[in-house]
Structure 1
Amino acid sequence: MLAKDYIELEEKYGAHNYHPLDVVIERAQGVWVYDVEGNKYLDCLAAYSAVNQGHCHPRIVNALKQQAEKVTLTSRAFRNSQLPLLYKELSELTGYEISLPMNSGAEAVETALKAARKWGYKIKGVEEQKAEIIACTNNFAGRTISIISFSTEAQYRDGFGPFTPGFKIVEYGNAKALEEAITPNTVAFLVEPIQGEGGVVVPPEGYLKACADICKKNNVLLITDEIQCGLGRSGKLFAFEYENIRPDVVIIGKALSGGCYPVSAVLSNKEILGVFKPGDHGSTFGGNPLGAAVARESLKVLIEEKLIERSFELGNYFLNELKKINSPHVKEVRGKGLFIGVELKPEAKGARRFCEALAKRGILCKETHENVIRFAPPLVITKDEIDWALKIISEVLMMN
């Protein structure tokens, strides 16, 4: 079958909730993917940061195979031999006392929201049904009903009301707006240290530190969403580390499994996650032995192969080289680590056409918020591969 045949099948039998580039990928290894017609592409999206360790990393695939031959699912009705080890290793790596595993990033966000509300009622003493959680403009935390209830993107909300109450929105990057929005009923502030879907938006220096101080002063939980920007993507284990803060709750996913299996988790301390009692929250697949084994190996790969350090070093190089491209279309180049956004001017007629042009030349990336091209390759990329990509990116950004 040719690419057009697969595309026709997908368009005929699949719900049209995505607008993918018309590249039909058949296999992948490291930073390279191959379509059904044998064409080779450099992946500069990394499945929205899920494959930080590179596609089909042999160590992670091997861990998956070995565990799949033993036991894949027990449900949480019974214990398994992989989950306790994942708990221990997550705690040792991150310094957080305990964690709660789920599957998707959105599930982990929902878990954090539930924990924050229950903490507010049981620990802080907020009156029942009055808890407020503050989020930011331009946020993206998933697409469940509760999560889109605090989205400021009109399309994410169109046709899906009524919405879940209990959320306030403040301007991203504006600590004063956060301080003014807090009331005695505020239980948490949810923020992305770098907004990924928002267009790789990096807040002003000192913003997160100011927010952390405000939250501490008001007994409000600081929850950072590190699903996309965490686990090495920003050049640090967590993007919040750039400001030397310690959030009360951290949400992780995507690269936690190296793209081989859905695994996410909420990290915190015993006071906060301890509000959950048996029956309060759960997931049939959350914490399953297959996912736990994959996550354990994925974390080891990040650390032992020094991918976080690589992201910091090569990310700075990639960012600086992109800034040197003198394109009439470019408004701004920004990012941290290998998490880079190239924002185009409105007159550039959108980022989609540039992504399509890059795909024709062997580079896969995706537009976000219409005018931003996101460059976020797997962290195993080499300097030579970046240099190869830069030449093509420069040519494409100079086109009419």
Structure 2
Amino acid sequence: MSTVAPDRTPQPRDPSSGPGGAAAPAAAPVKQRAWKYPVVYSVLALASLLVFGLLAGGGKQTTFTFASRNDFFTIPPLPVPSKATCVALGLVLVVLAAVSIWATFNRRRLGVWFPLLFGIVFVFAFLTWSAAGAGRMPVTALLAGALALSVPLIFGAMCGLVGERSGIINIAIEGQLLAGAFLAAVVASALQNPYAGLFAAPIAGALVAVVLTFFAVRYWVDQIIIGVVLNVLVVGVTSFLFSTVLTQDPATWNARQQLPNLPIPLLSDIPVIGPVLFNQNILVYLMYVVVVALQIFIFRSKWGLRMRAIGEHPKAADTVGINVNRNRVLNTLLAGAIAGLGGAFFTIGSGLAFGKEMSAGQGYIALAAMILGKWNPMGALFAALLFGFSKNLANVLSAIGTPVPSQLLLMLPYVVTVLAVAGFVGRVRAPAAEGKPYISQ
């Protein structure tokens, strides 16, 4: 009986298998190069070098001023030759754009410092060019005004962030800002106390949020539609009351009341940043507290974990005992109260009487700031500051008599908003369950 010898011829090994024939782990996918940012940086750098520097007229000078009253020490004015400075800054921007191209080609990631540095250099070049021969550029006043104009946007962005992190799209920020401004003005005027208006403003924002959550959570109405309807409703109600009540007896119902500034000792005397950050009213200080508190609690607390859970995967949150709809309602009411505080800045925060539609679309820009900040409190803060800076820059340039056309100055805040959201947001992902009503089983 014969036997067949086994074939011992070496077999070719599968290149995808590991030692002993085991399958080797799949190679990590190669990260695609994203050229959007290098292209944007390059366009801005070349535009700065050509428009602000090489093609601009020579022989002019730009003077930056920094001093204000009660400073520890006085920073003298800084005169610079406009064209030479813009050319030098333009070359710096070209180098930064080249760094961005190199980093993208080599798949290197640049930190947050890079866009901040690029933005600061670009803004300084624009200020030098726009104020050339037109007078002095007051840096402290420019920054202080930017912060003031940013306060309602920051409160509004925080409102939208809390709502959307909880799964509720809040288009009604505009109405909540306007309601907060209205009730703050009326209560402060009636009681002759601006602090009374400060307590009333968040109540107005929360009342608007009550209607939003009633229809969005209880009856599953489309949240975008109900938000738009609420904005129109608040505009109509406040305009009607303004025409029929406030204008009939403005001394009682619409007299100007302003929160006093509360300078922080020593800190308020620091040149430039002291008057900007530490010589403000209590509403601005509350804004600091709200941003820092949300940054900590959203990512470092049980409440924040539950908020993110009901905004990302409400069914999973429900299975571990979290009442999804109740938490959504409570968080949206809190968000409305935050927006109401932002509305108070239009009246008692600025010392103005209430006027029709005085929120002027700031709620929608606050939503853009929230998106640009990627649903992060600190990111939304910097985005809102960017929008406030662009708006105040238009005001300052108009005051000093810049050669920039007035039409362009009026467009500047909105152009910055569109470009920032369209060009610099990148790939962002909203909370997965936002706008989707949760029906508990």
Please indicate the TM-score interval, normalised by the length of the shorter structure.
Answer: under 0.3
* Higher normalized helix content (fraction of residues): 2
Q: Using structure 1 for the length normalisation, give the TM-score.
A: 0.26
Structure number with larger C-alpha Rg:
2
